[in-house]
Amino acid sequence: MNPIEYKNNQLHIEKINIQELSNSNQTPFYCYSEESIINQYDGLYSAFDMDIKIFYAMKANSNLSIIKLLLNKGSGIDVVSGGEIERAIRAGAKGKDIIYSGIGKTDEELNYAIESKVHCINVESQSELIRINDISKSLGVKQNIAIRINPDVDAKTHIKITTGMAENKFGIEYDYTESIYKIAADLKNINIAGISVHIGSQITSLKPFKKAYTIMYDIIKNLRSIGHKIDHVDLGGGLGVSYTTEENIPTFKEYANLIQSIFGNADIKVYIEPGRLLVANSGLLITKVTDVKTTTQKTFIIVDAAMNDFIRPTLYGSYHEILPIKNNLGTSNKVYDIVGPICETGDYFAKNRKMNSVKIGSIIAIKSVGAYGSVQSSNYNSRPQIAEILVKDDKYEIIRERVEVKDLIKQEKIATWL
């Protein structure tokens, strides 16, 4: 059973009726199905016949409850900033559960990560490696690292979330692998633990993974042959999800089989860092229709959510299904632009979308918003960030309170000379 579906023509998330949920909670808000996240984690984990460790990439959704839920499942956490380390620890992660990825780590962040005894730091440059050594030395410890390799593989995804091509800012060019591992091996406060790669996000074919992972396999073989101990390979995240029913995404099993076929007999620990895959389809953005406006060219459904709450459609041109809360309104051939109230034409959720007729006051649900949704929200137009709700079976809790305008202004002051 799908945790998000119509029952008696009423949209439900698990056993909660969305109309009722929106009667008692101010729209717009995000809500997530716990069951959906658990199903994704279990489905992915059990697809492997080999030992594997999942490190949830919390950048996709960093609410403390979501992190805690996945920690409870046995997941580790992949972080990309000092702030994410702090959140992960607040959610209950220990240093050993954390892998620290991401380019441009500051000395303060590295210091915090090393003091927090993170399991591994994925290194993005030679100078970062030297700084990690220096900071580890000052703290009197030896830090586990993996070098992130840039395999120059086109993940064939959106240009803004492609990370494994030579022209991208990420990782070490693979021709340079041997020399950087040699440098790492000579540093006293560095322990070479593994190697890592991440070629992008929302990847919908196995081909780029196969290419990148095969390159990684060859690199590992070579590094081992010249005496480096490579204990683990971190294959990053990136497997896509279907945002529409038509998309043809590789299954967990196909993805697992690919990894097994390359690393199954390599005597190496395998880590993966999925983000989107675990949480994207767990989430709905619930919003209310505030106006319906017809011009000579279009009919606009104007809702109370906006691009500051959910920026993916305008940032990546992403498609999200939009569902009416009641499924028995009859079909309509009319198309609408579903837009928010912000003073930018880019403030839209869908264009030329066929919808059942809705009217002012109707509630609608934007689907598949659990990943890269609330985490990318802002306060643009002084719109306070909205609440997040976690649903489990027939109960729910608010896992982030709606921010108030007074909280937005709190950190500001009027200059004394004004």
Ligand X SMILES: Cc1ncc(COP(=O)(O)O)c(C=O)c1O
Residue 19 to residue 111: CA distance in whole angstroms: 48
Selected binder of ligand X within 57, 113, 302, 364 (CB under 6 A)? 57
Residue 245, burial from CB neighbour count under 10 angstroms (0-12, 13-18, 19+): exposed
Given the rule CB under 6 A, which of 52-60, 223-231, 247-255, 306-314 is the region that contacts ligand X?
52-60
- Residues in 189-208 at the binding interface with ligand X, rule: CB under 6 A: 198, 201
Between CA 18 and CA 198 the distance in angstroms is: 37
> Residues touching ligand X: how many (CB under 6 A)?
15
Choose, by CB under 6 A, the member of 274, 283, 324, 340 that binds ligand X.
274
Each residue 125-164 as x (binds ligand X by CB under 6 A) or -, in order, gives: ----------------------------------------
381 Rama sector, left if φ>0, alpha if ψ -120 to 50, beta otherwise: left
Alpha-carbon span 285 to 124, nearest angstrom: 35
Choice between 249 and 363, CB closer to ligand X:
249
Contacts of 337 (CB under 8 A, 6+ apart): 298, 299, 300, 301, 348, 350, 351, 352, 353
Q: Which of 159, 343, 414, 418 is catalytic?
A: 343
Contact with ligand X (CB under 6 A): which of 212, 219, 277, 302? Answer: 277
Please compute, for residue 385, the number of CA atoms within 13 A of its CA located in the half-sphere on the CB side.
13
Q: Catalytic residue at 120?
A: no
Smallest separation (angstroms) from ligand X to the CB of 111: 21
Q: Does 313 bind ligand X (CB under 6 A)?
A: no
Report the length, in residues, of the chain.
418
Which stretch in 90-98, 204-212, 269-277, 385-393 sits in contact with ligand X by CB under 6 A? Answer: 269-277
Say if residues 290 and 340 touch (Cβ distance below 8 Å): no
21 or 233: CB nearest ligand X: 233
Exposure string of 51-74, with b = 16+ CB inside 10 Å and e = fewer, is: ebbbbbbbbbbbbebbbbbbbeee
Q: End-to-end CA distance of the chain, in Å?
A: 61
**Should residue 276 be labelled a site residue for ligand X when binding is judged by CB under 6 A?**
yes
CB of 74 to ligand X, least distance (A): 18
Task: Please give the residues from 92 up to 111 whose contact with ligand X meets the rule CB under 6 A.
Answer: 101
CA distance 120 to 132: 11
Q: Find the shortest distance in angstroms from Cβ 80 to ligand X.
A: 6
Task: Centre a 10 Å sphere on the Cβ of residue 16 and count the other Cβ atoms it contains.
Answer: 19
Which residue lies nearer to ligand X by CB, 28 or 164? 164
238 binds ligand X (CB under 6 A): yes
- Whichever of 87 and 198 has its CB closer to ligand X, that residue is 198
Q: Residues interacting with ligand X, by CB under 6 A?
A: 57, 59-60, 78, 101, 198, 201, 236-238, 273-277
Give me the active site residues, please: 343
